[in-house]
Structure formats: C-alpha cells, structure tokens
Structure 1
Amino acid sequence: MDHDTAATFSAYRSVLKRELVCALGCTEPIAVAYAAALARKVLGAEPTRLLAGCSGNIIKNVKSVTVPNSDGMHGIEAAATLGAVGGNAESALEVLESVTSSDIARTRELAADPAYCTVELVEDVPNLYIDITAEAAGHTARVVIAEHHTDVALVERDGEELYRAGTTQGAPDPADAQAANDLLTIEGILAFADAGALGDAREVLERQLMLNDAISREGLDNPWGAEVGRTLIAHFGESPSVRARARAAAGSDARMNGCPKPVVINCGSGNQGITCALPVLEYAEATGVDRERLLCALAVSDLTAVHLKSYIGSLSAFCGVVCAAAGAGAGIAWMEGCGYDVVAGTIINTIGNVGGIVCDGAKSSCAAKISTAVDAALVGLEMARSGNGFHAGEGLVRGTLEETIASMGYVGRVGMKPTDVEILNIMIGKTDVACC
C-alpha cells in the first residue's frame, strides 16, 4: 500500500471513529440537555432560571420528540431543565443516562412555572445552535454549542469568557475533520472495504451493530410510537427486504418515543446510524456472510452516508435518512459482490427517487420515512443490478455519481433553506395555512 492510500485509509478510520459515537435519545434534545448540564457545572449550583436561545432547526427537531429518561416529557424546556437538574456533563450525548426519579420529579416541578425556562428563536446562526444561560444567586453561566451536537463554541461565567472554540491549545481543530471528509469518494470507500482496512475502527462498528440492533429489537417487540416496524412485519411478511425496512424503522419507533436504550449515531443522528446499520445487518444474516465482510459493508454504508451528508450540513429541510439509506444500499451491494457501477447506480437511483423527502422535525413519522428511504435504496440496487437506472439530465441526476451527489447536496443546503423556514413557521403557528 502506497503512502497516499495509507493516509487516505487512516482518514477514513478517523471519520468512522468521530461519527460513530453513542447517544441516548434524539440528538437535538440531548444536545440541549448537554448544554444545560455544562451551564450548571460552570454555575456551580442548580439554576433558578434558564434561558435557551436556539436555531430554528433545533426548535423543529425538539418540539415533538420525547426527551429520554424524562417519563414522557417533550420540548426544549423539558430537555434543558432535566439536563440542568440531573444531567451528567461528562457524558456528552449520554448526559441523561443517570437521571433519577427525583430528578424527573424536580424537573416537572420547575417546568410547571412557565417563567423558569424561556425559549427564544435565534436567527442568523448555524442550523445547529444552542445558547443556554443559567442563573442562580446573582451569578450567570453561559454555554453555546454550534455546528455539531457536542461542539462547545463558548463558555462564560458572569460575563467572563472561560473558553472559546479555536483559542484553547490542544482543542480539536474542525478543519481536521473537514479535511478527512474531503477525502471521501465512493471509489475510495469501496477500495477501503476491498482492502479490509478497518483497523482500530472495527470496535466502533461492532458497537454500532450491537446497540442499534438492540433498540431495533425493542421496537419490534413492544408498541413504541406509531409502530411502523411492527406494522411492516405484520402485514408484509418476513422477506429480507421487508425485514430490512422494519428493523430500521423499529429502532426509530423506539428511539423517537423515549426508549432509554442508547444508539450509535452517524452524521449526528441516531436515526441515520440505525438506518446505516440495520438493513446491512439483515442482509448479512439472510445471506450468511462472515463477520468481517459484514463490518466492511457497514463501513461502506456509514462512510457513504457521511460523504453524501457532508454536502448538506448538520440540519436542514432535507431528510438525512435518504443519505443513510443510500449508504445502506451501497453497503449491501458491496457485500453481495457488486462492483463500482452497481454501487454508483444504487446511490443515483436512491437520490433520483426519494431525494425530496423533507425533514419536518424529529417525531414518530421518522420511522416511516426510514422505511420509505430504505425501500428506495433496495429498489435502486435491483434496478442497478439489472442495468436500469436514472440518467444524466433527469432531475438532480448528472453525468457522474459524484456530480449527482453534489447536486443533491446543493438542493439540501441552499435550495431547501426557504422550505426549512416555512416548515418551522407552520410548526410554531407563525404561518396560518388556509385550507383550500
């Protein structure tokens, strides 16, 4: 292996280790709870008042989802208050794992006072932006998280700056992560899998399979949310294609509705981490491939999803499970011995089919969107395997795979920005949509 290839594969492993981290519950309310727990730690006391300034995408994704370990509470107020009362700031996206029944009771008590936690929409900030100010005994603490769910941008106490991203020696450089992402191509990802170059990324892939399979089984065994996964199995049978959709959807059924089991996320999203993993796992079990090939196929799925999503950004009106499902289709194709042309065709066909699914917040219907996106990826794979597909000039499809990915990313990042605003306006009642 030459030096450039070795460096590229090392960067791919770093992407997997950075993206595939554990989270308890939907990552947006968890990020709010994490910021509040950090603010309490800086303050040194339980806050007597909280102010949460959030971007529209945070408000959109927290509004309807159940805060984990909260006994069914919803919303930014509940997430911030529970994080401040009982969150463990050292646990990042598992910040609410150790909350107690007394913490929940205290949160309900505080949340009953509408003046305790005030939420404000902050405009002209990154799509992922959380600004928590905590007050107690004449002191204040402020924590800002921006761009990514655990990226602390600013910490202040009584107006004094304690930390600002990019100014602390030894702090992670976001440019390093972007440089690794910039090396991702579908050809490179397949070469990485062909070489079996997983190295020290193998552990995070194994954890992704274990944890995400566990929450999927929980969603299939018990009536969480809208029961999309259970509905698929009950009415459409047990074929691998149905089970691939159902297992992925069931994980979201449980996760969006407060299941306390942790998941391994990808692209900052548990739903995307689940969607990357469960269809690949189902097809591996159905075809009997060995563990190493399964792990390499999962790496194809995860890295493809990161590659596609990196053109869009953390949060937008473009549903990220489309990227994850395209990744799963690519992983399954590689696992079954297909070459670049079929993998590329699978991704193009998926984008050409469901590239317009909108994100209208985290909630029960995410499971149905996962099922739809995975179905599109599986249909796209069989089309590509048969030599069929969508061609350049048809919609977002361009001359090459990478150009098609870029065009999809542009629509998600730029074209759907006004859509994102209008979705939020409808959700918060700012826009009165008249019936025809």
Structure 2
Amino acid sequence: MLSKEICATYQAILIEELQPAMGCTEPIAIAYAAALMRDALGELPTAVEISLSGNIIKNVKSVIVPATGGMHGIEAAVAAGIISGRFDLKLELLSILGEDDRISLRSYLKKTPIRVSELKSNCTFDLLVTGRCGENTARVQISGYHTNIVRAECNGKSVIDRYVQKEVLAASTKNAANRSLLTVESIIEFADSVELDELRPYLLRQIKMNMEIAEEGLRNPYGASIGQLLLKDGNVSIKDKARAYAAAGSDARMSGCEYPVCILSESGNQGITASVPVIVYAQESGKSEEELLRALIVADLLTVHQKTGIGCLSAYCGAISAGVGAGAGVCYLEGGRFHEIAHTLVNAVAILSGTICDGAKPSCAAKIAMAVEAGFMGWEMAKSGREFFGGDGIVTKGVENTIRNVGQLARDGMMETDREIIRIMLGKS
C-alpha cells in the first residue's frame, strides 16, 4: 500500500504538470519573460536584448509563434509578449492578441531593435531579457523551466516579489513535488487506487484540450499534415487512428494553431503524445471514463518519470518518452499491470531511444507518429511474451535501471550531439 506522502506527491506532480499553454512552450516562455520585463519597466521598452541557452534557440528557430499572423523566431516571440503584457496569463498570454494587436506588433518590430545572443549556461533552459526606455532598465530571467522566474529587477533593484510568492521563490530551482519518488510499480498502484475527485478536472481538461487540437489538425492543413496522411486510405485500425490524432495535434501546434493544449514535462507535443493515443483507444474500444482517467494517470506519470532523468531540454526527442508513456497507458487500459507495463516500456524504449531533437517544427508530428508506433509495438511484444533482454544495447535488467540508462544517455551522453545540432541549425558548423 502506498504511503500518504507518495500519494500526495504523485497527485501534486499531476496538478503541476497538466497546465494549459497556447503555442510551442519555448517561444511562449520568451513572450512570458518579455511581458514580465515590460511590467517591471513600467513602460514600453524602446530597445530589447535577449540572451538564451542554445536549446531554447533550437526550439524557437523554426516554429510559428501563435496569434502573430504566422511570424517565426525569437524577435517575434519577444515582441508578442511585450504587446500582450498579460504575464498573469502565463503560458496563455498570447491568447488575448487580436488583429489590432498584430498591427501593433508589426509596427513595434519595425521600430524597436531586439538584439539576440546565446547565453552560455550550465542550465539547458535559461533566458535573460533586458528592456530599456530612456534612463530606465529592467531585466527578467527565467531558468530551469518555462515559468520559473529567478530574477526580476528595475534599475538594479529587485522586484521579484511582485511576481513570485516568497515560499515559491525559496524552491524556485525546481517544481515543488519531488519527481525522484516516481517508480513504475508505484505509479501503477497509484493509478489503481487514487480517488479521482481532485484530479478529475485536470484530466478532463487534458482530454478536452488535446482532442480539440487533434481534431483541428485533421480538419485543416497544417505543416506537412502527417495526421491526415495517416488516415488517407480510410480503412484504418484503432492504432492507426490513435497515431494519426496525436500527429495531427502536433501538425496544428507546430504551425501556429491558437488552440491551447495541456502540456506535460513543460511540452505541448509531449502532452499530446502521451494522452491522445490513450484517449482515442479508450473511446474506440468502449472503455469507461474512469478507466480512461486512470490510464491517463499511468501515461502521464510514466512520461514524467522518464523525463525526470533526461531533463527539460536535451538532444533526445521528448516525444519518444511520451510515446512510450502512451503505449503503457493503452496496456493499462487492456488490463496490463506491472509485469506487462514494465516490458512494454523497456521494449518501446529499445526501439527508438536516441532519436534526436532538432527543434520544434512541423516534422515533430512525424516523430510523434513513430513514437506512438513504438509504444504500441512495445505493448504488442509484451502481450505476446516477447521482450528485449538486459544486455541488448542500453537495455538493462529491471525497468528502473533501463529508465536510468536512458536518462544518462540523453542528459550526459548526448551533450556534444546537442551542441553540434545547435551549431548546424545556426549555420556555424
């Protein structure tokens, strides 16, 4: 039986993780920082400088910033945040922009110098935005994760208390709930036994938001329309439909769709990938709402568990972790428990681990389709009593050991890969 501490922690993790965001989270985090900077300055800045860690640059370079009329890039994200100014909306702050705001945005970009540079930092998620107007200067720094304000000042005086409660600031280097307490076995036991009353609103919001953007991606052309491509032949299986819906959500999100999603591990694509296949599978196979909600808990927490060792941003494609989580969630829906889910996870990880992240962009949808396919294949192998064994590549005996290996590979082993990807993307190779 799980302790009260474990149950409370797992519940807190889900509540912290399942937050809404409109648009790819890296440009939105830039916009959020810029809106905070404008507020700290007290007026519209006439010159802006922004320094960002390489991983943020990578994830902003090719993706459309939502509500900007199709604009790309760091400068557009900065300006959009300044024009919005609604830092109180956090990762949904661009949702209020209308056509008049887009006119103001284009005008602001033409007349305001915005200087961009790479921030050399030991943290993969780190950004510092500075704004000036006349004699006044304001700075805001976000580090560690997308809404973690570690610095806010005006004319050298800290104003961080305006934006961060003191008890939150004391733990600002990480989310409050301890993710190191996650284990595969405990996650399954938690999903089996937790009272759903408190989590139900968050999980239902995840279902609503993530299915809405998936359906939008299937209705209209976005990116390379991978989701539509997967359904073009008509006679498709439940698994094909699950892959297609997940890919379609990313098609739309990466191409500037203004629908919000429920994120996971600070990522909209990971939120879509972990949840949508489970939702589609449950709906198509006639599962009850309670069965679906408990399966989503498994998929969500297993995704977070894998990502805890990897870190927020790296050269390792986060959709792989989420696709593995989705496969485990479907396995749970069909009655699988620790033995089957552990083998599903290990099998799926062995198939696609090492897939690189080369930034947020339309091809993420295709990677998501393949990640979900790996999750399903891992489950099919487990159902058939087939498995990859310890010593097969990075697979080690014991599911927790294999998860640790993936974390080590992504966090430490792929550091130089990450640097080279960024050099190539910036034309410095």
Band of TM-score, shorter chain: over 0.9
Q: Which residue of 2 aligns with 1:194?
A: 192
Distance of 2:369 and 2:157 partners within structure 1: 48
Mapped pair 1:129 → 2:96: no
Structure 2 residue matching 1:52: 3-state secondary structure: strand
Structure 2 residue matching 1:104: 3-state secondary structure: helix
Q: Which residue of 1 aligns with 2:386?
A: 388
Output aligned runs, 1:39-78, within 5 Å.
39-78=37-76
Q: Which residue of 1 aligns with 2:228?
A: 230
Distance of 2:305 and 2:336 partners within structure 1: 20
Output aligned runs, 1:264-303, within 5 Å.
264-303=262-301
Distance of 1:364 and 1:267 partners within structure 2: 20
Distance of 1:157 and 1:270 partners within structure 2: 32
Mapped pair 1:94 → 2:92: yes
Mapped pair 1:117 → 2:114: yes
Please say if residues 348 and 401 of structure 1, whose CA atoms lie closer than 8 Å, have aligned partners that are also in contact: yes
Please say if residues 39 and 85 of structure 2, whose CA atoms lie closer than 8 Å, have aligned partners that are also in contact: no
Distance of 1:30 and 1:168 partners within structure 2: 22
Q: Which residue of 2 aligns with 1:143?
A: 140
The answer to which of 13-22 and 78-87 deviates more is 78-87
Q: Which residue of 2 aligns with 1:349?
A: 347
Query: Shift of the alpha carbon at 1:175?
Result: 7.2
Please say if residues 25 and 68 of structure 1, whose CA atoms lie closer than 8 Å, have aligned partners that are also in contact: yes
Mapped pair 1:243 → 2:241: yes
Distance of 2:173 and 2:22 partners within structure 1: 27
Q: Which residue of 2 aligns with 1:153?
A: 150
Output aligned runs, 1:355-366, within 5 Å.
355-366=353-364
Q: Counterpart of 1:261 in structure 2: which amino acid? A: Y
Matched residue count = 428
Distance 1:171 1:351, change over 3 A: same
Distance of 1:157 and 1:28 partners within structure 2: 24
Distance of 1:162 and 1:245 partners within structure 2: 46
Q: Which residue of 1 aligns with 2:415?
A: 417
Distance of 1:92 and 1:125 partners within structure 2: 25
Distance 1:145 1:14, change over 3 A: same
Distance of 2:135 and 2:172 partners within structure 1: 35
Query: Shift of the alpha carbon at 1:160?
Result: 1.6
Output aligned runs, 1:152-171, within 5 Å.
152-163=149-160, 169-171=166-168
Q: Counterpart of 2:319 in structure 1: which amino acid? A: V
Please say if residues 22 and 66 of structure 2, whose CA atoms lie closer than 8 Å, have aligned partners that are also in contact: yes
The answer to which of 116-125 and 99-108 deviates more is 99-108
Distance of 2:91 and 2:177 partners within structure 1: 24
Structure 1 residue matching 2:188: 3-state secondary structure: helix
The answer to which of 362-371 and 136-145 deviates more is 136-145
Distance of 2:234 and 2:374 partners within structure 1: 16
TM-score by length of 1: 0.95
Structure 2: 5+ residue stretches without partners: none
Q: Counterpart of 1:214 in structure 2: which amino acid? A: E
Output aligned runs, 1:317-332, within 5 Å.
317-332=315-330
Distance 1:344 1:213, change over 3 A: same
Distance 1:179 1:21, change over 3 A: closer
Distance of 1:323 and 1:232 partners within structure 2: 21
TM-score by length of 2: 0.97
Query: Shift of the alpha carbon at 1:201?
Result: 1.5
Structure 1: 5+ residue stretches without partners: 432-436
Structure 2 residue matching 1:142: 3-state secondary structure: strand
Distance 1:179 1:95, change over 3 A: closer
Distance of 1:53 and 1:389 partners within structure 2: 46
Distance of 2:25 and 2:3 partners within structure 1: 34
Distance of 2:338 and 2:167 partners within structure 1: 40
Query: Shift of the alpha carbon at 1:83?
Result: 0.6
* Runs ≥4 residues deviating over 4 A: none
Query: Shift of the alpha carbon at 1:112?
Result: 3.1
Per-residue deviation, residues 382-422 of structure 1 (Å, max 9, x unmatched): 00110101110111100100000000000000001100100
Q: Which residue of 2 aligns with 1:434?
A: none
The answer to which of 6-15 and 374-383 deviates more is 6-15
Q: Counterpart of 2:74 in structure 1: which amino acid? A: I
Identity of aligned residues (%): 44
Per-residue deviation, residues 187-218 of structure 1 (Å, max 9, x unmatched): 00110111143341121111000000000000
Aligned residues: CA RMSD? 1.7
Find 1:7's aligned residue among 5, 23, 28: 5
Q: Counterpart of 1:57 in structure 2: which amino acid? A: N
